[in-house]
Structures are given as structure tokens and as C-alpha cells.
Amino acid sequence: MLLQTVRPNIVQAIRAYRVEDLMQAAQDAGQHFLYANLTDAQSKQDVLEGIAQSFLFPAHFGKNLDALSDCMTDLVHKSGAQPGFVVVLEQLPDNSKFDREAREQLLDVFRDVADYWADRKVQFRCFYSFQ
């Protein structure tokens, strides 16, 4: 029911949603739930490494924004039909090593990923919070 209140193919602040509720909603909808807790991340590299580990990216992941996009789109698309995605990026850093520009670049990748999946009629919702 929760996912019916959030439009598909969006990247938005987590706000009033709880991680547990989003996980349950993804499970109920038969969608992938991808979660990264980035509390310990301080820099762009830390954030990318945390996402890669949490999402079980392949060892050859390049730890840059282009590689992130590729792993979230082409690599997954090649594995077959997808049921949809609920992604949570919790506690993105907010400091001089990962400033507003770096956060926006990261979120832009996820917006592009949402568009990619929208073109393929697959729901992709990404929620994020800051430290």
C-alpha cells in the first residue's frame, strides 16, 4: 500500500517514511530492496564504496559515478526482467569532503537511473537522508 502513495521513478528525501516500512513495502510488491547505511562515510569515495558493498556490486566496480550508473542500469538490465526497485541511501554525509555539489552529483546519477528504468516501464524509487 505504501508504494501506491509514492509515484514511481522518483528520487526523494525519506522524510516521513521509515526504512522498515519501505523494506516491507518492497517485499510486499515483489521488488528489490537496496539499502546502504552511509553513517561512516565522509568522502565521495567512501560513499561509493559503501553503496558498492551494500548493493553487492561486482569486484571490478570502478568507484566512480559512471560505474555506479552502469551497475544500476546496464548490468542489472542484462540479467533479465526486473520487478522494480526501492533504494534507500541513509545518512549521506554533509561535510566539506562531501558537500552539496557532491551530493547533487550522486543524486543526479540516481535520477538518471530512475529515468532509465521508467523508459523500460520498471518502477524505481530512491529515498535518501543526510547525516
| pLDDT tens-digit series, residues 20-75 | 999 999 999 999 999 999 999 999 999 999 999 999 998 888 889 999 999 999 87
Number of separate domains in the chain: 1
At 1 the pLDDT is: 65
- Quote the radius of gyration of the chain (alpha carbons, Å): 14
**pLDDT per residue over 64-91, tens digit each?**
999 999 999 987 777 788 999 999 999 9
Which residue segment(s) compose the domain that 18 sits in? 2-130
Mean pLDDT of all residues in 110-114:
97
| Cβ-proximal residues to 61 (8 Å cutoff; 6+ apart), any chain | 52, 67, 71
pLDDT score of 3 more than 90: no
Element (H, E) at 104: helix 100-119
Give 3-state DSSP helix, strand, coil % of the chain, rounded to 5.
45, 20, 35
CATH number of the domain where residue 61 is located: 3.30.370.10
